[in-house]
Structures are given as structure tokens and as C-alpha cells.
Homo-oligomer: A and B are copies of this chain.
Amino acid sequence: MRKILACVLALLFLCQLAPRARADEGMWTFDNPPLKQWKERYNFEPSREWLDRVRLASVRLNDGGSGSFVSPDGLLMTNQHVASGQLSKVSTKERDYVRNGFYARTRDEEMKCPDLEINVLVSYEDVTKRVQGAAKPNASDAQANEQRKSEMAAIEKESNEKTGLRSDVVTLYSGGEYWLYRYKKYTDIRLVMAPEEQIAFFGGDYDNFTYPRYDLDFAFFRVYENDKPIHTDNYFRWSKSGPAEGEFVVAVGNPGSTNRLLTVAQLKYQRDVGNPLQMQVWTSRRDALSRYASRGAEQARQAQATRRGLENSIKRLVGQQEGLMNPKMFARKEDEEKKLLAEIGRRPELQRKYAAAWSDIATAYRDLPTTAKRIAFTTLAPSRLGTVASQIVRYAAETAKPNGERYDEFRENRLESLRLTLLSPAPVYPEMEEAILAAWLEEAQKTLGANDPFVRAALQGRAPAEVAHEAVARTKLTDVAFRKSLLGGGASAVAASDDPLVALARRVEPIYRELRAWNEQHILSVESSAGQRIAEARFAVYGKSVYPDATFTPRISYGRVLGYEEDTTLVPYKTTFYGLYERARGFDEKPPFDLPERWKEGKPRVDLSTPFNFVYTADTIGGNSGSPVINRDAEIVGLNFDSNIQKLPNRYWYVDESEGGRAVAVHSAAIIEALRKMYDAGRLADELMGRGQ
């Protein structure tokens, strides 16, 4: 049957060479929603108001996820795994909110997050002409790139000054379009409720990217302004029934990153160099954390949130790489490119303007593999304190420059968000920081060799463990006030500091800058120039029937709630509470299939036939975690939290219905049933159901 399936898949690929969107494909921008597909496939024609309300009720969490307003009083829903970073930061050895969950019985008990910023997209404006026009006619790729960046910085600053809103110029279609996005920003976000991680992440890394699934991966925050909950009319009502099998649904969120518009040369680089290198970086980090966690229960607690994130990244990367390693799937990308080039070849004007773009990229990429390894390892980022040190050093240098000449992340209008992170009061665990930094420097030394400039600058001939110990044991960067004084003191304060971790960051900074400049000049500027031409070529051939690659900005995905075939049997569209207890008992409740105490004693209280998780065909990816899943009436029917394993190659192409690719969501009914019967959180359930306070 697998073989039969493989043949069917192969046939499907052959029929689908045209880059027209496949069924339910696409992460669409709000300026270009897939109205035609909705009308044709689902007879769905939303009003402008529907679209606006959906956008304004949806939220980006800058911890790396999505969320939505689910009450007029600023109640915000996302995943427990998106909230876990903040949960971890407010936890202590004595009170572990990740492990034990959290519930504020009254508004007074709602707990402020140390460094969470959320954004709501309030307006957007096409600035393509202004940005593209900033590049002078005879500029080199590198010069043009600088000119565009400078223009983007100016647009952002202008807008920010005019509106007071966070203003980001977003590059879409690899530079085919530029849009100014204006966000309402909130930074007083308070924790309301999160279940125990063991039920939010039941089955642990084994069941991650797995379906059937039994994760109650939800969490609630409340958004405050001026120390009061905000009031908003733009929130999602709760569906009474949840989704039926086959029902049309929409997911709104901020997919982080896809690579669907890459050329074949770029994909080959990912497959042969980029992904294996990324795998090495992540596994070495994960292994270092695992060793640290094995020292004891408290160390395990400290490491948990980051470990979970790394395990997730690694498992996802394995799935993505399997897609690239699949010759049939890769051939499909090659054929798509061949077909587009052939079409361009038939039209002399397109040929003259665009044909060289592909070879420009291929040529630029030739030199990348040798430098890529250096770029990957020339950083202190795996250590949180190391990141703080490097960013403080960089902050001093960058903010001294005119706005248009700075690194993107130091542009004027982004500094406030950056300072929120750098000055976060979240606890730091020096013992863990030292272990991470030592392991990282060791891995860098092993990979790059003792004579590599970064390794020489970082170690100065000493052992990695010694350098890490010295840097972390005596640093004062654990103290927020010290960080603040350095930021305030500018370049001279940074230069004068005798803090050993600041000193380490200073030593490696020139190597970092040199590599970043090389990358900007040799790779990014070529990609930018060629990317724009390729996008224009695509628009010329296919029109704007395509959507841009994901950029962690608001997008609309859609599809149907639908099970699938796997091997020779059927996988159901939904799971129920029965299945949670089934899976726990099947393993005799051995970890990671053990249940929180509450879920053992509380079993008689719940209706076991209540739906738990479900799958649907929408095109989502990391960053969509926490996306509301809504029906035609814009009611919440689910909460997106994962994809199944079949879907993972969707970084490079949409894995469609017939291939078994599915997004996984918590069912709306599971949340209500759990809140009322397991967590004695009727107040919250009532708020969701619109039954007032």
C-alpha cells in the first residue's frame, strides 16, 4: 500500500508542475487574501469587515508565536509552549509554573510577564516603489542593497514618528514587494492560566509532530494598558460545537519562515550544507543542555524550556531534510524552475531582464559553503548572557551611526523592543550559562580549528571551559541595572568595562562584523537583487496568484478539518479524552506518557467523549503556534499548535491533503471541558463563552 501510495504521489507531482496554488495552499497576506479559492472551493465570501476584524483580533507574540483576543477584556489565547518561556521566567525552584501550571483565580492574581511584547497589525501600506526606487540605476548589488535598506529605515522612522505605532517595512516575494506594517504594541502582558506542561505536551518529544495527538497546549494571558485590562471589540467569540468533519476553517497567525521561492541552487545549498550545519549547531546545543539537566532536578527545570525548543527544532529539521532528500520531491522543484525559465526564454523582454538572476545566485552561492561554517559558529548566542553581552557591545557601536546605516535590528524604531529584551528581569542561571558557553566554545574549536580567528579571539589559547568559567563567574550582566548602565554609557562605557563577559564579546565582535559584511556583500545583496528580479519574472508569468514566503508577519491560512490515510488504515479527524487515557495506560503511564495528578484524580469528572485535538489541511508552519482556528462566523473552533510529521517538508513546498500533511489544533470543546471540570476555572470558561464575569 505504501508503494501504491508512492506511485500515486509521484503521479500527483507530475501533474502539478505549474506553481499555481494547490488545494488549501498558501499563507496569504491580508492585502491579498485568497478570495477566489474561497469562493470556488468553499463558497465563502467574507466581507471587508470580516477580514478587518479577524486581523485586529489576531496577535503576534514576539516570543515567537501567535495568539488571539478571546474576550472584550483583553483575554489573549495562545499555546502553553509559546507561553512556556514566560512561565519559566516567572518560575523559581519552589514554584514551577511550567511543571505545575498556573491559574489566577482573580484578576489581582494575574502575573506580569517580564519581557513579552505583543503586536496587532493595525494598518499596512505598499511601499514597493519607494524602496525599489531608492536603488540608483547604476548601483552595484551591494550599493543598491544599502540604498534600499537606508530607505526602509527612513520609512519606518517617519511612520513611527507620525503615528507612534511600531512600524516595520517587510520584504515580501524576495524583494518583489515591500510593505509598511504598523503595529499596536503591548508590553504589559499578564499570565492568567496555563495547564501543567505534562498535559500541554503529553508524550513529550516522541509525540511532537505526531498525530493522533493528546496535547492540551493552551495558555491564557491578559493584555493591560495603564495597569488596567484593555477593552476591545475586536475579539473572537467561542464556537458552541467546535468544527465538524470536513468543515471549512481559517487559521490566522504569523508563520515564521518558509523557503518556497528559493531557486534550485539555494535549495541544494540548504540540503547539502545549510541543514546539516544547522543540525550540528542544534544537536550540540541540545546535548550540552541535556548534560546540564542531568545534574539534578533544579538544573533540569532551568534547562527545560530551551531543551524543549531545541528538540522541537531538531525534529522539524529532520522532517524538512527528508523532504529535500526525497528525489521525487526535489525533482518537482527542479521542474518548476525549468518550466518558469522556459517560459521566460520564450519572451525576449523577460529573458533580457530576468534570466541572469538564477545564475547570479548560483554563482554567489559557490563560495558560501566554506564561509557558512564560520558564520554559524562565530557567535556567543547559545548563551543568553553571551547574547546580552554581544548585543550591548553592538548596541553601542550601531546607535552611534545614522539610522539608515545601522544593522536592521538596531534601527531607531526597533530599539524599544530590543531594550525590553536586554533589560528583562527574567532570572539567569549562571551555572547553566557557563555550561552552555563552555560546550559551545568547545564545539566551535572542534569544528573551526584552533587557528580560526573567532576561536583564537575567544579562547586566547586557553581551554573553552576555563574561558567560559572566567567570563560567567565574574560577570555582572546578571544584574539588570548593570546592563542598563552599559546601554546608557554608550561606546565609551562598553570599551572601558572590565566585565569579563563584555570583554569576551568585545574580542569576538570584529570577527563577527567581518563575516556579516562578507555575507551582506556576497550573498544577501545578490539574493536581494536577484530575488526582486525573480519575483518580477514570476509576477509577469503567473500574475499575483502566488503568496510570499513566510516572514513572521500576519497571514491567513485555510483548509478543511479532515483525517487521512496512513500506511493502510485511516487516521481520524479528531481525538477525544478517551485517547489521552488510552495512550497513558498503553505505556503504563511511564514518562513521557504519565499524567499530572489532577488528570488522574479528575478523570471521573470529565466527559471522555469530548473532542481533544483535531487535524486540518491549512498551510501553516512554526510561528503559527497559538493561531486561532476559526469558522466562517469567525468563532473559535480550535487553537493551532503543531503539524504532523508528514507535513514537515512544507518549509520548501506545501504538503497537501493527499500527502497526509496536516496542521494539528486543540479542539475548542477540550479547552472548555478542561477549564470547567479539571481546573475549576469556570470564571475563565464563562468569559470565553461570553457569559460575562
Interface residues, chain A, CB within 8 Å of chain B? Answer: 1-4, 203, 206-207, 209-210, 212, 245, 315, 318-319, 322, 325, 563, 567-570, 572-576, 578-579, 581-583, 585-588, 593, 608-609, 645
A583 in contact with B572 (CB, 8 Å):
yes
A267 to B207, CA, bound (A): 39
A322-B2 contact in complex given A570-B206, A581-B608, A645-B567, C-beta closer than 8 Å: yes
B575 in contact with A578 (CB, 8 Å):
no
With both chains docked as a complex, state the minimum distance between the C-beta of A5 and any C-beta of chain B, in angstroms: 11
A578 in contact with B569 (CB, 8 Å):
no
B576 in contact with A585 (CB, 8 Å):
yes
A3-B582 contact in complex given A569-B207, A587-B570, C-beta closer than 8 Å: no
A568 in contact with B1 (CB, 8 Å):
no
B245 in contact with A588 (CB, 8 Å):
yes
A573 in contact with B586 (CB, 8 Å):
yes
Residue in chain B with minimal CB distance to A321: B3
B609 in contact with A567 (CB, 8 Å):
no
A576 in contact with B572 (CB, 8 Å):
no
Residue from B4, B209, B322, B568 in contact with A3 in the complex, judged by beta carbons closer than 8 Å? B322
A567 in contact with B210 (CB, 8 Å):
yes
Q: Which residues of B contact A578 (CB under 8 A)?
A: 578-579, 581-582, 585, 608
A579-B576 contact in complex given A322-B3, A570-B587, C-beta closer than 8 Å: no
B609 in contact with A568 (CB, 8 Å):
no
With both chains docked as a complex, state the minimum distance between the C-beta of A560 and any C-beta of chain B, in angstroms: 15
Q: Which residues of B contact A609 (CB under 8 A)?
A: 581, 585
Residue in chain B with minimal CB distance to A1: B318
Q: Which residues of B contact A645 (CB under 8 A)?
A: 1, 567-568
B581 in contact with A586 (CB, 8 Å):
no
Residue from B1, B209, B315, B586 in contact with A574 in the complex, judged by beta carbons closer than 8 Å? B586
Q: Which residues of B contact A582 (CB under 8 A)?
A: 575-576, 578-579, 582
With both chains docked as a complex, state the minimum distance between the C-beta of A317 and any C-beta of chain B, in angstroms: 11
Which 9 pairs across A and B sit closest by C-beta, in order of nearness?
A: A572-B586, A579-B582, A578-B582, A206-B569, A210-B569, A578-B581, A576-B585, A578-B578, A572-B587
A203 to B572, CA, bound (A): 12
A322 to B567, CA, bound (A): 12
Q: Which residues of B contact A572 (CB under 8 A)?
A: 583, 586-587, 593
A245 to B569, CA, bound (A): 26
